[in-house]
A and B are shown apart, each in its own frame.
Chain A
Amino acid sequence: MSSKSIKRTALLSSIALLGAVVSGCGNGGDSEASSSPSNSPSSSSSASNPASTDAATPQATADSGKKIKLEVIETGNNLPAPDQDIIKKELDKALNVDFNLTVYASGDDYKNQLNVRMASGNFPDLFALDRQQLIEFSKQGLLLDLTPYMDRLKQASEFIGEENVKKGAVDGKIYAISKSSQIPYNTYFIRKDWLDSLNLEVPKTIEDLKTVAAAFTNDDPDKNGKKDTFGLTGGELNGAFAPVFGAFGVGSPGSIYEKDGKLMNALYDPAMKDALAFIKEMIDTGSVDPELLANTALQHQEKAFKGQAGIVWIDWPNMTKENMIEQIKAVNPKAEWIQMEPPAGPAGKFDGSWEIGNTPGRYAIPKALEKDPEKLQRVFDLLNYVSDPKGGSLLVQFGVEGTHFTKDGDKIVMTDKAGEVGYSWLYQFTGRPEMSYLQTKFVPQAEFIKFANDQPRIQTLNGFVDLPEGYVASDADRYIKEELAKFAYGQRDLGEYDKFLKTLETTMKYKLFMDAAQAQLTALGYGNK
């Protein structure tokens, strides 16, 4: 009797558990099967909300009047909770939507999230993606072809400009709205007070740069009696020496640009060897950050702030914004950083290279949204609204008029509450008029912004090139980086440079990339002069 009841209870409870597991699977399968044919774009995640609004306002069954939930995902950070998100509230009001923006801090996390959602049919209504994903997803038929809808996206396409519209195209069809172009931020910054203390001039040529860097290292510019400084730092080789490559007329390694009317890859540029030889000389003097190659993220900035390095190639926001100045002054109240022009070399002066084929971001709409024209219209409305220079664009750039900015004629002046909407850039789905935006928002930095933007740069075209199949960019890039570091640090003789190219072409299949680049860029009209 009792042993029977043990058996029964034991069996029952384990079956119950198992049942729970199995039925979980069963449910999953069932509702998946039932939901996928209808392919409702407002699937489970958003289903609850519209339903409840329907119940509240039963008359709102026809189009237009209904409040629609829009889901947008992208990378970013610092987005406040929805109830404190002023921009969200304004957009909700203006477009009659319930806006749900989700941002992911890490690009990898975001990619995973997007891939899973695309694979499982739980599409967001608008999402950021990179060029590679754009090509993949569009080939899989997951993205809405926007070409027939362009007249309904007039405001947005006017705002970003014809050339940026083209950047969202795959095989002649437009699958994404690209953000409007950015402007370059980076220049060399140099310690003015160190120059003064050693009676040196701002370097004008790369030879000067070498001398000054050496002086910063050997002549104790901070006068603390210790040899604890060095000349130059930056983010790895390409960062610290971007203007030096530029002085030789070479783009950053791996980039493609026009030289004398012909397409040129930096690695094949005859001047590349000269540039590497000069960089090696400079490194040999011991005046370059010994940990240069290990500088990730903003470590070079930290070294500059700490008073370890006297020259750094970096963007103006990380050097001149108020909180940065505060940090610099906290370490040494006398520290004074100034921007300098790129030093001149055999090919003139160029402050590194600037990619013109890329865009700061692009957004696509899932094909599934086709079946929900009302919602699709709201997504178009959104894109047009944030592109309206008189309306929504001001909102996502500067916040709410009267609260975060005021208008003085045509001029926009930020109020001291502007910090409340510092995250508004997350909502700039079509970008912003970069120069005027920065000049308005960063008034004390206006000079630095203009200076950085005015420097000549080598215009690179890599963004226009779609990678050919069989070519693994990450492998090739790593190989290039490693070998160039060996050349620069004298671990491999420059005489072997051609051998390096040979390996790159064969083992890393760089030839595939070169051919693809040649064909695609020629088709776009580059290098035909």
Chain B
Amino acid sequence: MVKGLEDRLFNVLVYAVLVFCALLAIFPILYVISVSITPFGEVLRNGGFILIPRDVTFSAYKTLLTQSNLPQAFKVTVLITVVGTAVNLILTGLMAYPLSRKNLPGRRIFLLMIVFTLIFSGGLIPTYLIVKSVGLIDSIWAMILPNAIWSFNVLIMKSFFEGLPEELFESARIDGAKEFRILFQIVTPLSVPVIMTIGLFYLVGHWNEFFQAIFYVTDRTLFPLQVIVREILMQSQQTLENADNITPTQTLQMASVMIASLPVLVVYPFIQKYFTKGMLLGSIKG
């Protein structure tokens, strides 16, 4: 098949635009990486801008990992992320599955209640009061339980489950499977894409945990990564004339940003293949 000139030109144009977009995304990341491994004096000498590092040092990472609150915060964040995502997935799945069954009595009412929370929320102070009275303040659970279920994700999962062919359930039942067996041995393996997708949403949400930590936690040892990274970055923002304040260099700041974002950056590619699939599957019923 011979492609016309027009087609080829079009392809070139598409590639050019895509390459340009990719560069737009890569540029800042490269800048952050480069500055984080260059001695600060070198950064300044180059007018604060470095893309390809010549003089490489990991001293900033070493400083952060040995002399700051970062390692502790890292542990907290990993804990929140792992436990939190597990809690999220179990609860969201258990809520979405029954709601996807058309023969569930009162299904409309339950769905309405869920949609209601999508549109209206109790607001900050009532939520704080609940978290406080349940005794979650100043505990790791304060960063996990208040957002254990995101209504939106329940709806995505529900419509995915609805898309599973009814025949599967029937045949499982004919083979003698009970409800739990159907859920765990038929539905779950078929739902890997949606579980991965929703899991990634939750995971990134937990990794970026910030506001709940700021509001519900006052114990420094329980602060997650983003709070500490923000603290490091904010120090250079403050013009507060405090003689004792030691402003972290740009190198240190960038290194802290890298430490905070690298793990998620690494996880993404592995989940990506499910990601695109899962996103679509949630929306189209087939």
- A residues adjacent to B (C-beta < 8 A): 2-3, 5-7, 9-11, 13-14, 17-18, 24-25, 27-32, 35, 43-45, 71, 73, 77-83, 100, 102, 104-106, 109, 112-113, 116-117, 119-120, 122, 124, 182, 185-186, 235, 296-298, 302, 305-306, 308, 315-318, 321, 323, 326-327, 329-332, 422-425, 438, 441-442
Contact = CB atoms under 8 A, between A and B. Distances in A.
Interface of B: 39-42, 44-45, 47-48, 69, 72, 91, 94-95, 97-99, 101, 103-106, 110, 113, 124-125, 128-130, 132-135, 137-138, 173, 178-180, 214-215, 218-221, 230-232, 234-239, 241-247, 249
A116 B218 CA distance: 13
Contacts of B180: 9
A167 B41 CA distance: 44
Q: Report whether over half of chain B's contact residues are helix, strand or loop; otherwise say mixed.
A: helix
Contact of B130 (A17, A24, A182, A297): A24
A13 B101 CA distance: 12
29 contacts: A7-B103, A9-B98, A9-B180, A10-B179, A14-B98, A17-B91, A17-B95, A28-B129, A31-B134, A32-B133, A44-B132, A100-B219, A105-B234, A105-B235, A120-B125, A120-B128, A122-B128, A122-B132, A122-B137, A182-B241, A317-B242, A317-B245, A318-B247, A327-B40, A330-B42, A330-B45, A331-B41, A332-B45, A422-B246
B234 A331 contact: no
A106 B230 contact: yes
A425 B124 CA distance: 32
Contacts of B135: 44
A27 B69 contact: no
A81 B48 contact: no
Given A73-B218, A106-B234, A10 B130 contact: no
Most chain A CB within 10 A, of B72, B110, B238, B249, is at: B238
Contact of B220 (A81, A235, A326): A81
Contact of B243 (A113, A297, A317, A330): A317
Given A81-B72, A116-B124, A297-B238, A10 B98 contact: yes
Given A5-B178, A105-B234, 5 more contacts: A6-B103, A27-B130, A77-B231, A105-B231, A327-B41
Contacts of B69: 80-81
Contacts of B245: 77-78, 317
Contacts of B132: 32, 43-45, 120, 122
Contacts of B97: 10, 13
A192 to B, nearest CB: 19
Given A113-B214, A120-B125, A185 B137 contact: no
Contacts of A73: 218
B94 to A, nearest CB: 6
A315 B69 CA distance: 28
Nearest to A124: B218
A14 B243 CA distance: 58
Contacts of A43: 132
Q: Report whether over half of chain A's contact residues are helix, strand or loop; otherwise say mixed.
A: helix
Contacts of B101: 6, 10
B98 A13 contact: yes
B218 A71 contact: yes
Nearest to B180: A9
Contacts of A119: 125, 128
A477 to B, nearest CB: 16
A32 B105 contact: no
B179 A5 contact: yes
Nearest to A80: B69
A327 B252 CA distance: 14
Contacts of A422: 244, 246
Contacts of B134: 24, 27-28, 31
A70 B232 CA distance: 26
Closest A-B pairs by Cβ, 6 of them = A330-B41, A28-B130, A10-B98, A105-B234, A105-B231, A31-B133
B185 to A, nearest CB: 15
B103 A3 contact: yes
A14 B125 contact: no
A3 B238 CA distance: 64
A185 B241 CA distance: 8
A458 to B, nearest CB: 18
Contact of B137 (A28, A44, A106, A424): A44
B130 A330 contact: no
A363 B244 CA distance: 20
A521 B268 CA distance: 61
A18 B125 CA distance: 22
A25 B237 CA distance: 40
B219 A112 contact: no
Contact of A331 (B44, B128, B129, B231): B44
A297 B237 contact: yes
Contacts of A30: 133
B110 A18 contact: yes
A28 B132 CA distance: 8
Contact of B125 (A2, A116, A296): A116
Given A5-B179, A81-B221, A104 B214 contact: yes
Most chain A CB within 10 A, of B219, B221, B245, is at: B245
A113 B216 CA distance: 9
A28 B134 CA distance: 6
